[in-house]
Structure 1
């Protein structure tokens, strides 16, 4: 909660969409559903592109890495060489081509795991209300939650089955 006396902070964190003050973080999720990156928190009004630039995740990317992002997440101009951006196609005509349908479905399957990982993080009640006085510790709290999420059972059935097969062999 941002104190009323701090109008600048309140303006930067207020979300008209959610009707409250918010913070944002960039969450990286591996193909197996493991949370691999949690940025610091940024005021809710910060653009996604600014967060990507500031949090230095692009410095950790390697040739061949793939970033899945929302339609409005336009990052092509700041990507390192060899790093690919995959966003759902925009519907320009009345219907997608078969190739666009296949690509959209493939992206959607991967996005589900990202959304599930983020949903697991949001389940921690401590995130429901972080007092403004604890703002300096909030990023650390979210990063620890990202790590704790990885101790939960695997998100993806194939990973869970491989996990249980390995423990059966021990």
Structure 2
């Protein structure tokens, strides 16, 4: 709520999160959808539907992790950011993200 992230959500957006993020009601108010893996069944076997949903979320998550990995490759983001650059942190991250988007696609 304090970060302003929810203000960036548009209607019909889908937000992927881990279980335990209590943002479902906030997303519904913005007409967006929360995508989370289905809850575990304990010692019981998962239903076929939940297995398929878990696989689908995992497949997307792999691409998200790869995109994050590309951004982390920038030397300026590998180390502690000097205090003098803190006011520019958002711009630095935005530029690193934009440059990583110019690389070949993650998905063929």
After TM superposition, the score normalised by the length of structure 1 is: 0.56
Partner of 2:64: 114
Number of aligned residue pairs: 104
Structure 1: unaligned runs, 5 residues or longer: 1-48, 158-170
Between Structure 1 and Structure 2, whose CA radius of gyration is higher? Answer: 1
Structure 2: unaligned runs, 5 residues or longer: none
* CA RMSD of superposed structures (Å): 1.6
After TM superposition, the score normalised by the length of structure 2 is: 0.85
Q: Answer 1 or 2: higher relative contact order, Cα 8 Å, separation at least 6.
A: 1
Please state which structure has a larger fraction of its residues in strand. 1
Partner of 2:34: 85
Partner of 1:73: 21
C-alpha separation in 2, matches of 1:74 and 1:124: 32
Quote how far apart the aligned CAs of 1:128 are: 1.8
Please state which structure has a larger fraction of its residues in helix. 2
Quote how far apart the aligned CAs of 1:81 are: 4.6
C-alpha separation in 1, matches of 2:2 and 2:63: 24
Which consecutive aligned stretches of 4+ in structure 1 deviate over 2 angstroms post-superposition?
Answer: none
For the structure 1 residues 50 and 97, does the alpha-carbon distance in structure 2 shift closer, same or farther, using more than 3 Å as the test? farther
